[in-house]
Amino acid sequence: MNHIDIAPAVTTLDHHIIWLECLADSMARQGMAPGVIEQARNYARGLDKLSKQLATFMPGDTVHRLERPYASGVIEVYREPSMGWYEWRIVDDGQVLHDSGTQANHDGTRGAMYGVAGIALRDALNHDEPPRQPAVVEPVEWLPARSASRDNLAQLERLMATVQTLADTLASTSTDAKAKRSTRNPDHAEGRLAMIYYDERTRLHDELADTMTTAAERLRALAERLSRESVG
């Protein structure tokens, strides 16, 4: 019989535990039958029990070690030997970039004190993932317990915030460009060319900023109207 390395096996089990827990949460949000949701959670609990049993046979304190998906280095989940809970750390070229075990808590203790290694691994991966921009336009899909008025209002608020941010960014960029223009020397050919360039660019930025601001105000008015109608 071939020898199986325990560390990758534990990591694989914990990945499945995380997936099952996410699946159960998703099914709960969609209003699916409680029995189906509980079945997914039971599978997760069973795998968690097996993962913990296997982890006791691993040498050293490191339970998981995997390559960082978005940068160099590794993510490690380790067992705190004196207390028995789990922590995680991100290591690159021998330097610890982040360690949950060193985080100070309000009660004077340190560490996240995870009871489950898989949850520690999930949080480490979430921490290390680059920020993602939320979708501005959400798909329109009916599900049990969904409210059209509530979803419409949420869509409007996301779009309004995005448009207002664009307007503010355009206005700020135009202001910065005008400041750069003021430093150019009109007595030199290069300075005059730069001033012409800045004038043309800022003219459009100002127009776009005004257009976006007007659009944001119209979206705000529409959101206020929908809010009143949903209450009424």
Condensed to tens digits (0 to 9), the pLDDT of residues 171-202 reads: 999 999 999 999 999 899 999 999 999 999 99
What pLDDT is recorded for position 165? 92
Cβ neighbours for 112, distance < 8 A, ≥ 6 positions apart: 87, 88, 100, 101, 103, 120, 123
Rounded Cα distance between 224 and 229, Å, is 9
Task: Provide the token pair at 38.
Answer: 């509980």
End-to-end CA distance of the chain: 70
Q: Which stretches in the chain have pLDDT values below 50?
A: 1-3
What pLDDT is recorded for position 21? 86
Identity of the amino acid at 95: Q
What pLDDT is recorded for position 131? 66
What pLDDT is recorded for position 70? 83
Nearest to 40 by CA among 21, 56, 58: 21
Identity of the amino acid at 75: I
pTM above 0.75, yes or no: no
DSSP characters over 68-105: -SSSSSEEEEEE-TTT--EEEEEEETTEEEEEGGGPBP
